[in-house]
Amino acid sequence: MPRFSKAVSSLRSSEIRDLMTLASRPDIISFAGGMPGNDLFPVEEVEELYRKLESKHKQAAFQYGPTPGLPSLLESLAGFLETKGLPVKENRLLITTGSQQGLNLLAKAFIDPGEPVLVENPCFIGALSAFRSYEAELRGVPVDRDGINIEALRHETERPEKAKFLYITPYFHNPAGVLYTTERKRELIETLQGTDIPLIEDDAYGDLSFFEEDRERLKPIKAINPPGIEVCYTGSFSKILGPGLRLGWMLVPEEIYQKCELIKQSADACSPSFTQVLADQFIRSGQIYSYVTRVREEYKRRAAAMVAALREHLPSYVEWNEPRGGFYIWLTLPEGADATKIMMLALEKGAVFVVGKTFDPAGKRNNSLRLSYCNNTPQEIAEGIPIVAHAIRQVCG
Ligand SMILES: Cc1ncc(COP(=O)(O)O)c(C=O)c1O
């Protein structure tokens, strides 16, 4: 028997990953994965960008690069982030191997075994597993339609054993779909100020907004730059170019950057130069802006198809959000309902989703489920949602 470390002995394969194996059967309509639509990737545009590169840039693409990222990408990405009002010059930018690595680096930088961290409930599974892998004690704070519950957050910040950080996904939350209101962000800032609890602000989906009027709500807390809070902002190319590039970034204060850069050196030395060169060209050519506009429209269309199907088929006791951007719709079922039973029934009939307890920091609460509309045609949505709704009625009446 291999004698594993304590830290990895407690790691379990997530239900989401196990399900992906089942869901990849070609006859199953999957609302499970949070993946961009395969048909939407800018394959030809990127081919053309690569073809046009000078030889020396092509060679650099095959070479190791500096740990913080290729200088040219750091520069072009800084320009992209400045359009969101982010204080790039007053902070340090680090290219990461997906924003998942950013979360892992921050977790390693802050967490000693048994120490508490604050997370939203529900919470992005990748963050939960990164924090679990350093043996954090996860303290969940509920999320409602407007964002994190401030009363509960205040209570957590006042507990004697102080949390090492708070992690949030305020812009088209995964899995709850929520876009924080401006008011809720203000309250969150006031609650954290003076507590010495850093904030990790994960903005993986903020570019995928459906409505122009939400611009103000999408302004990152990092861009508000509130005094008295160390904000670690993370972002990703996964939803605005492709997850296969494995590229993300973090924008963090100098001291935190120094630690993360050292940790990254020992993790992977540098993120892929090949995809960094491509991402750099994608920004510099301006295509990132037109591409984001295009995919936003497409996701809005897919979301509308799912909303229409849910309105038609769901029983009225199910609560759910109408998405304003991002990839997800979160269904809350009556108290005590078991989403796993519903999932098994739906799977038999050919549709799959992710059950709620996957996103519960305690891994228990299961009267909820996540549907993704990002990687399905409107026709698949129209076929699959009645299957899910029927399974809900079978279990909940
Ligand atoms: C909220 C959130 N953060 C981070 C990530 C990680 O993305 P990546 O590592 O591909 O950049 C995801 C992926 O689904 C996500 O949903």
What CATH number is associated with residue 140?
3.40.640.10
Residue whose entry in the numeric block shows the structure tokens 């203000």: 186
Q: Are residues 95 and 226 in the same domain?
A: yes
Domain hosting 35: range is 6-42+289-396
Ligand 1 near 174 CB (within 6 A): yes
Q: Are residues 389 and 277 in the same domain?
A: no
**Residue at a domain's end among 261, 286, 311:** 286
pLDDT of amino acid 335: 95
- Within 8 A by CB and 6+ apart from 186, the residues are none
Tell me how far the alpha carbon of residue 239 lies from the centroid of ligand 1, in angstroms.
Answer: 8
Q: Are residues 233 and 307 in the same domain?
A: no
What CATH number is associated with residue 338?
3.90.1150.10
Q: State the Cα–Cα distance between residues 32 and 16, nearest whole angstrom.
A: 8
Tell me how far the alpha carbon of residue 202 lies from the centroid of ligand 1, in angstroms.
Answer: 8
- Atom of ligand 1 minimally distant from the CA of 327: 16
**Residue at a domain's end among 286, 305, 332:** 286
Q: State the Cα–Cα distance between residues 52 and 62, nearest whole angstrom.
A: 16
Ligand 1 near 320 CB (within 6 A): no
* Residue 1 domain flag: no
DSSP result, 141-177: EEEETTEE-HHHHHHHHTSSS--S-EEE--BS-TTT-
**Residue at a domain's end among 265, 286, 307:** 286
Mutation probe of ligand 1 site: the residue of 168, 238, 241, 268 with most atoms within 8 A of C-beta: 238
Tokens of 108: 């390693």
The predicted-structure confidence for 146-177, as pLDDT tens digits, reads as follows 999 999 999 999 999 999 999 999 999 999 99
- Whole-angstrom CA distances from 351 to 17, 18, 391 are 16, 15, 10
* Residue 134 domain flag: yes
The predicted-structure confidence for 269-310, as pLDDT tens digits, reads as follows 999 999 999 999 999 999 999 999 999 999 999 999 999 999
Report how many domains make up the chain: 2
Q: State the Cα–Cα distance between residues 287 and 307, nearest whole angstrom.
A: 30
Ligand 1 near 272 CB (within 6 A): no
- Within 8 A by CB and 6+ apart from 335, the residues are 367
Q: State the Cα–Cα distance between residues 105 and 374, nearest whole angstrom.
A: 28
Q: Are residues 94 and 69 in the same domain?
A: yes
Phi, psi of 96 (to 5 degrees): -120, 165
The C-alpha R_g of the chain, in whole angstroms, comes to 21
Ligand 1 near 275 CB (within 6 A): no
261: nearest Cα among 62, 64, 65, 66? 66
Tell me how far the alpha carbon of residue 396 lies from the centroid of ligand 1, in angstroms.
Answer: 32
pLDDT of amino acid 16: 57
Ligand 1 near 238 CB (within 6 A): yes
Query: DSSP secondary-structure letter at 111?
Result: P
Nearest protein Cα to ligand 1, atom 15: 204
Query: DSSP secondary-structure letter at 212?
Result: G
Q: State the Cα–Cα distance between residues 162 and 196, nearest whole angstrom.
A: 9
Tell me how far the alpha carbon of residue 236 lies from the centroid of ligand 1, in angstroms.
Answer: 7
* Residue 163 domain flag: yes
Nearest protein Cα to ligand 1, atom 3: 204
Q: Are residues 78 and 132 in the same domain?
A: yes
Q: Are residues 242 and 349 in the same domain?
A: no
Q: Are residues 223 and 276 in the same domain?
A: yes
pTM of the model: 0.96
Tell me how far the alpha carbon of residue 36 lies from the centroid of ligand 1, in angstroms.
Answer: 11
Q: What stretches in the chain show pLDDT beneath 50?
A: none
Q: Are residues 86 and 194 in the same domain?
A: yes
Ligand 1 near 126 CB (within 6 A): yes
Q: Are residues 96 and 189 in the same domain?
A: yes
Q: State the Cα–Cα distance between residues 296 and 286, nearest whole angstrom.
A: 16
Q: Which spans in the chain are helix H?
A: 6-9, 15-23, 43-51, 55-62, 71-82, 98-110, 125-133, 150-157, 182-192, 221-224, 254-268, 273-284, 287-313, 339-349, 378-396
pLDDT of amino acid 9: 75
